[in-house]
Amino acid sequence: MKKFSFLFIGLFVVVLSALTIAGIFTLGKFNQWKDNESLTQALLKGNEVAIKTFEFSTPKIQQNILKKEPMVKKALVEFYIKHNENALASIAKIYDDSVEAEIYNDELVYRILMAHYYHSIDIAIAADDFYKASSLLGIFMQKYPNSSELQEKAKDIKHRKQTRLSFLTEQYMTCLGQTMAPLLERTHCMADARDKIEKVGIEHNLPTDPNLPAMYAAEIEHALAEPDYEQAKKLLADWQRLLPEVSELRQQLRERLALHLDFENITADLASYNDNKIQKRLGQLIVAPLLREKILEMPKIQQNLVRYHLNEALAILMATPEDQVRIDARTEIKLRELLAASSNTAVENQSSSHSQSTSTAWYDETNKQAVTNRADVAKLLKECQKHFDANRLTTGKQGTALDCYNTVLSKDPNNAKALKGLRMIERRYQYWAETALKRRQFNKVRNYISSLAKVNPKSTALIRLKQRLKVARTKQAKPKESNQNVKSHSAKQSVAKTSTNAEVCEGCNCSALLRQMSLGIKPLTSAENSFFQKQCR
């Protein structure tokens, strides 16, 4: 009996222990369920603390919550879209592959992501950034590779890109064909269209006008002559933007502009006693004739250059065979020419001294001749200016500016004023031709082009003006032909109508006309008479 009591007590203890353990386990499960429930509610509200707690939970807990409450997926995706630039990358980084797949395996999530990415894609397309649009769609398609909607969207982006390229290319070609428009207006139009095309994305080179480099060069030359250095800068920048390929001509013009902009330093160096600087500046000015003429006309520069060249001449005269004299090659050539001319003059004077009782030193005669030539040239230049002011450029009974300046150059081949005068004539004809083109006075344009060719057959403006004249005449001829065809057609219709009306006699019959004729009531009209002759005999 006593033994039985002990067994009963032991069994009771075991049962009680089991019940205690089960209660504790059940209570833990209840608390866990209560925590998950509150977490789920917080997740649905987009609570940031709850989402961070969810991120650190185990994949099993995460999947359980997502399966039990699918709307948590929507809340998570909306949170990541709002707080991250790339929501998909953030989800992939935070969650296990199985949890990530569970999030995406939801129609509502798919629609939310679609709305987000489609909106971003449309913004990119509106900005002509089709590369970004395709990249965004590609990221989205990685998560839904079998979506027919996304595949159609890819086709739509490609079609919209082709349509946009077609429109912009047509716009570019229209700009290219505007040969009558001013240079900068035309090229800015081309450059703007090309920039847009390149942003959209193009796989081939756009055509350009082969005459554009020559046109730019002419305009820059004109800007340097004005001088309008800001315009020259603008033209060079525009040329670089439109035709970025390396251009030796453009580089030369850029260097010339740099010299013009460095005018003060150049004049200071040429007026100094630093022979190295003088030699350097004289070498640079070779490529800038307009600037060289302007600077060399300055008295202080002329005086200093005389000193410089005399010092070089003296260095040559005083040098011994062992000395190494560094003289500018151009100066040495000029000095040799002067010495040769002096020798020839001396020989001629010696031969003529036998027939003359007194002789004049060769340098006196040369000096007198030079003075006479300068006086003649100065007189001629005044006459040339009168012809130019009176617009007697290439025609005129009293003489022409062109012939006058050429005469000056025959006496003084490097005369700066005569060379400048020829350029002024060239620019005036160019201006007149362009003005006549705008007014559609094509006969005058042709005459101005012909005169411009007389002044400078190599003028870069000739090709451009001829092309613009040809285009303008073609455009004018088409409307005329159309009007003539319309008038001809109208005339034929009028004749046909008149002819038809002449033979048609409404309400006529033979008996009525015969009675009218016999009674003499009134004479027959032309239509009635024609009807009677044809129908009543």
- Each residue of 286-310: pLDDT tens digit? 878 878 888 888 888 888 888 887 7
Specify the pLDDT at position 80. Answer: 92
Give the per-residue pLDDT at 121. 94
Q: Which residue, among 241, 239, 236, 240, has the nearest Cα to 261 in the 3D structure?
A: 236
Alpha carbons 370 and 381: distance in angstroms, whole number: 16
Highest mean pLDDT among 51-55, 287-291, 528-532: 51-55
Asked if pLDDT for residue 148 goes beyond 70, the answer is yes
Q: What value does the mean pLDDT take over residues 368-373?
A: 55
> What are the boundaries of each domain within the chain?
12-171, 205-345, 367-476, 504-537
Tell me the average pLDDT across 474-503: 52
Q: How far apart are CA 166 and CA 197, in angstroms?
A: 9
Distance between CA atoms of residues 47 and 40, nearest Å: 10
Average pLDDT for 476-485: 59
Handedness of CA 120, 161, 171, 246 (dihedral sign): positive
Please give the Cα distance from 353 to 41 (Å, whole number).
128
Q: Which helix (H) or strand (E) holds 296?
A: helix 289-296
Q: What percent of the chain has pLDDT over 90?
A: 19
Q: Which residue has the tokens 């525009």?
A: 238
* 257 vs 261: CA distance, rounded Å: 6
Q: What is the mean pLDDT of the chain?
A: 77
| C-alpha radius of gyration, the chain, whole number | 48
Within a 13 Å sphere around the CA of 338, how many CA atoms are in the beta-carbon half?
A: 12
Residue 24 clears pLDDT 50, i.e. is over it: no
**CB neighbourhood size of 291 (10 A):** 20
pTM: predicted TM-score of the whole model, two decimal places? 0.48
Which range among 46-60, 232-246, 423-437, 504-518 shows the weakest confidence by mean pLDDT?
A: 504-518
Q: Look at residues 408, 401, 402 and name the one whose alpha carbon lies nearest to residue 377.
A: 408
pLDDT of 491 strictly over 50: no
pLDDT band at 517 (very low <50, low <70, confident <90, very high): low
